[in-house]
């Protein structure tokens, strides 16, 4: 698409505004809003956000955070900045006064840097209230604005086993000793072949004898009887609590002997009196 002037053009800057109009229409901005770019106090800004976040999933989440639930965050931003904001694909198109566009760009870039837009919206609301007061217009607003601190994220988990780095030395490590060097150090190098063979045989026999003794010990383990527990329990020493009171026991036995076993004794005098009464009643 091309933009060119006609004979009726009286504003030379209109050619740039025509270019911006085509850009906005290409970014899916409605025609009713895009035409406002031809007004004098209205400008546009197309913010590229596609390259600010590498991870695609993270980018989608942050872009959705800028829009908010049912577009509430975007609507609040539009009301505070008096700009029309359109999020489409990898760009954010903004249309409105220059002061509002500056704030929109700041909010969008901060959101992509993982700073929630609600913080910037809160700051804009406070600034709007302060601007309405004529006394505070000329003063500094820093004491009124909120200072949001970044949350300190948890440190990276340290490994259990840390490898300690050795100090750097320009000299190479010492060369390991060869088989001949070891033989020279022990004196085996100067022995005859027959003596070397004898030494090797002795070493093999010693190893075999050690292995044989271990094997025999392992076999004998099955024939060793287990330790039996003692059948008779050890008598506990008599304590003050365990001692029997013999005197009290004797008294108990005497009382038991005095009592007669069976039914209690019958009183004959009482029984005869009761029988006489019964006879009188019958007569």
- Could you give the number of structural domains in the chain? 2
Tell which of 98, 132, 166 closes a domain. 132
Query: Does residue 276 form part of some domain?
Result: no
Identify the domain containing residue 190 by its residue range: 179-221
pLDDT of residue 209: 94
Q: Which pLDDT score, from 0 to 100, does residue 283 have? A: 47
89-98: b (≥16 Cβ within 10 Å) or e: eebbbbbbee
User: Looking at the domain assignment, is residue 32 inside a domain?
Assistant: no
CA distance 167 to 147: 46
Reading the block at residue 149, the tokens are 């601190």
pTM, entire model: 0.52
Position with higher pLDDT, 167 vs 84:
84
pLDDT in tens, 201-212: 999 999 999 999
Residue 162 has pLDDT above 80, yes or no: yes
**Whether the Cβ atoms of residue 97 and residue 43 lie closer than 8 Å to each other:** yes
Whether residue 106 has pLDDT greater than 60: yes
Contacts of 111 (CB under 8 A, 6+ apart): 62, 65, 66, 117
Task: Kindly state whether residues 58 and 125 are assigned to the same domain.
Answer: yes
d(CA 117, CA 71) in angstroms, rounded, equals 13
In a domain, 208, yes or no: yes
Q: What pLDDT sits at residue 150?
A: 67
Give the residue-averaged pLDDT of 98-117: 93
* Residue 82 · residue 131 · CB < 8 Å: no
What does the pLDDT look like over 32-84, one tens digit per residue?
999 999 998 999 999 999 999 999 999 999 999 999 999 999 999 999 999 99
Mean pLDDT for the chain overall: 84
Query: Which stretches within the chain are classed as H helix?
Result: 14-26, 31-34, 56-67, 72-81, 98-112, 117-132, 179-186, 193-220, 246-258, 268-282
CATH number at residue 120: 3.30.1370.10
The backbone torsions φ and ψ at residue 191, rounded to the nearest 5 degrees and listed phi first, read -75, 160
Indicate if the pLDDT at residue 160 is higher than 90. no
Distance CA 222, CA 220 (A): 5
Whole-number pLDDT of residue 207: 94
Residues 128 and 187 in one domain: no
Residue 74, domain member (yes or no): yes
């Amino acid at each position: 698409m091309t933009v060119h002037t006609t004979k009726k053009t009286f504003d030379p800057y209109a050619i740039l505004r025509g270019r911006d109009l085509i850009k906005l229409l290409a970014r899916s901005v409605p025609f009713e809003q895009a035409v406002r770019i031809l007004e004098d106090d209205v400008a546009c800004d197309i913010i590229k956000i596609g390259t600010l976040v590498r991870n695609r999933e993270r980018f989608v989440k942050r872009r959705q955070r800028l829009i908010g639930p049912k577009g509430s965050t975007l609507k609040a931003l539009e009301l505070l900045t008096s700009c029309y904001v359109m999020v489409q694909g990898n760009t954010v198109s903004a249309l409105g006064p220059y002061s509002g566009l500056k704030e929109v760009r700041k909010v969008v870039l901060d959101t992509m840097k993982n700073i929630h837009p609600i913080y910037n919206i809160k700051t804009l609301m406070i600034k709007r209230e302060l601007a309405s007061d004529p006394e505070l217009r000329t003063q500094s607003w820093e004491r009124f604005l909120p200072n949001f601190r970044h949350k300190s994220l948890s440190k990276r988990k340290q490994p259990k086993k840390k490898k300690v780095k050795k100090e750097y030395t320009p000299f190479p490590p010492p060369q390991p000793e060869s088989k001949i060097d070891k033989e020279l150090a022990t004196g085996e190098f100067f022995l005859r072949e027959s003596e070397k063979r004898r030494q090797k045989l002795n070493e093999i026999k010693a190893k075999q004898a050690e292995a044989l003794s271990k094997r025999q010990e392992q076999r004998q383990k099955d024939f060793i009887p287990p330790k039996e527990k003692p059948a008779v329990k050890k008598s506990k020493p008599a304590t003050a609590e365990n001692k029997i009171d013999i005197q009290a026991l004797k008294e108990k036995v005497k009382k038991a002997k005095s009592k007669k076993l069976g039914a209690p004794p019958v009183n004959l005098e009482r029984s005869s009196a009761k029988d006489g009464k019964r006879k009188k009643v019958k007569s």
